[in-house]
């Protein structure tokens, strides 16, 4: 009920999302500067009209000189300023991160054991194309179900086929952001902000797009999994991550039986949460190739550049000539125009996979 994933800022009070304290527009509309210093500027909270919904709860930051149209502020009258703890004005700094550069790679036999955790018996898919929708101008949407790799569950997958190209199609397999964990229906998936921003331009450019409904997302949601979807040290999360990867691998199994898909030209596109798992998925799924494109914001507090993005890029086993890291003076989201330009210009996009983050 707030102005998130919208078209533009709106007058205060236009949206009826209200907090328990009686305040409006705390989520969305414009994100708000906070007093607190951060590692690269000042804290910003609340998300903006053109952010995805989960950003209202995420911390972010920007240079104090940032003049983005997304930025705003809120005036506050402290009724009892003497009761405010000093901690509310202190710098917002991260816990000391793990130094990934000091981590030792495991021997090949240990890695093989890790990789085998994601294996499964290649049983019959029992696939069914449940519906087709060709009402869109640029693509045909198919809703497909097939047997998952575990626990007698059925997978759901949406396959979008471009109308302006001929098969067999080069195909992009998508892994969404964590907002999909909070949604409960994929019925109108083409209207989800991520589809409009991250996938529609690929279809208009003649690529097919696969959008699996992963374990714990949309109608396959599970309240036990939602709190741990970003990872922890529990056995429950380990089993959940295995299922997520198996869902993607099983989706590729289905693509292999389609004559209209070029199985030798598969790309992986991971956004936010999906970008986080991109290194694992591409390491354990041999049908995805090596070339890697990473697009990241320098001020991102969800994936801090110095402690997560740069180590991932530097330590990635991809040859230097086959990997590229592009950074932008933004937070968790990069400009859409830049994403479209870089992804379509990626020299391996025609014949090799991409891993935007």
pLDDT at 85 over 90: yes
Pairwise pLDDT comparison (74 vs 118), residue with the higher score: 118
Q: pLDDT tens digits for 18-59?
A: 888 888 888 999 999 999 999 899 999 999 998 888 888 888
pLDDT at 101 over 70: yes
Token code pair at residue 11 = 């007058």
β-sheet bridge partners, residue 308: none
Q: pLDDT tens digits for 226-252?
A: 999 999 999 999 999 999 999 999 999
The predicted pLDDT at position 327 comes to 96
| Per-chain mean pLDDT for the chain | 92
pLDDT at 354 over 50: no
User: What is the side-by-side strand order in the sheet with 208-213?
Assistant: 128-133, 139-147, 154-162, 208-213, 169-175, 261-270
Residue 168: cis peptide before it, omega within 30 degrees of 0: yes
The predicted pLDDT at position 75 comes to 85
The predicted pLDDT at position 353 comes to 40
The predicted pLDDT at position 350 comes to 40
Domains along the chain with CATH numbers: 1-93 (no CATH), 101-345 (3.40.50.1820)
* Of the ranges 197-201, 301-305, 333-337, the best mean pLDDT one: 197-201
User: Hey, is 3 helix, strand or coil?
Assistant: strand
The predicted pLDDT at position 356 comes to 45
Long-range contacts of 319-327 (CB under 8 A, 24+ apart): 319/290, 322/290, 322/291, 322/292, 322/348, 322/352, 323/291, 323/292, 323/293, 323/294, 324/292, 324/293, 324/294, 325/294, 325/296, 326/293, 326/294, 326/295, 326/296, 327/296, 327/297, 327/298
Report pTM.
0.86
Q: How confident is the model at residue 128 (pLDDT cuts 50, 70, 90)?
A: very high
């Amino acid at each position: 009920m707030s102005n998130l994933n919208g078209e533009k800022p709106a007058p205060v009070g236009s949206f009826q999302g209200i907090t328990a304290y009686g305040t409006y527009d705390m989520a969305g509309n414009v994100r708000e500067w906070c007093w607190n210093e951060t590692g690269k500027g000042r804290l910003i909270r609340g998300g903006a009209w053109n952010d995805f919904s989960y950003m209202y709860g995420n911390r972010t930051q920007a240079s104090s000189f940032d003049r983005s149209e997304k930025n705003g502020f809120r005036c506050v009258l402290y009724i009892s300023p003497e009761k405010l703890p000093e901690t509310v004005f202190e710098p917002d700094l991260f816990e000391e991160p793990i130094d990934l550069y000091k981590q030792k790679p495991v021997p090949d036999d240990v890695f093989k054991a890790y990789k085998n955790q994601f294996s499964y018996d290649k049983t019959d898919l029992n696939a069914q194309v449940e519906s087709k929708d060709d009402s869109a101008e640029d693509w045909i949407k198919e809703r497909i179900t097939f047997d998952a790799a575990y626990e007698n569950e059925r997978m759901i997958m949406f396959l979008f086929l471009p109308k302006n190209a001929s098969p067999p199609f080069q195909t992009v397999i998508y892994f969404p952001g964590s907002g999909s964990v909070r949604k409960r229906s994929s019925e109108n998936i083409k209207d989800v902000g991520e589809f409009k921003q991250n996938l529609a331009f690929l279809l208009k450019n003649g690529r097919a797009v696969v959008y699996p409904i992963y374990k714990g997302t949309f109608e396959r949601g599970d309240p036990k999994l939602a709190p741990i979807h970003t990872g922890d040290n529990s056995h429950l999360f380990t089993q959940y991550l295995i299922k997520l990867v198996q869902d993607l691998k099983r989706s590729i199994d289905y693509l292999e039986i389609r004559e209209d898909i070029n199985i030798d030209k598969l790309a992986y596109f991971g956004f936010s949460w999906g970008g986080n798992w991109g290194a694992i998925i591409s390491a354990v799924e041999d049908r995805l190739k090596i070339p890697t494109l990473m697009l990241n914001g320098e001020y991102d507090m969800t994936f801090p550049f110095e402690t997560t993005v740069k180590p991932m890029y530097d330590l990635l086993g991809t040859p230097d000539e086959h990997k590229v890291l592009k950074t932008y003076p933004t937070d968790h989201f990069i400009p859409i125009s830049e994403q479209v330009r870089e992804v379509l210009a990626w020299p391996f996009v025609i014949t090799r996979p991409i891993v935007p983050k």
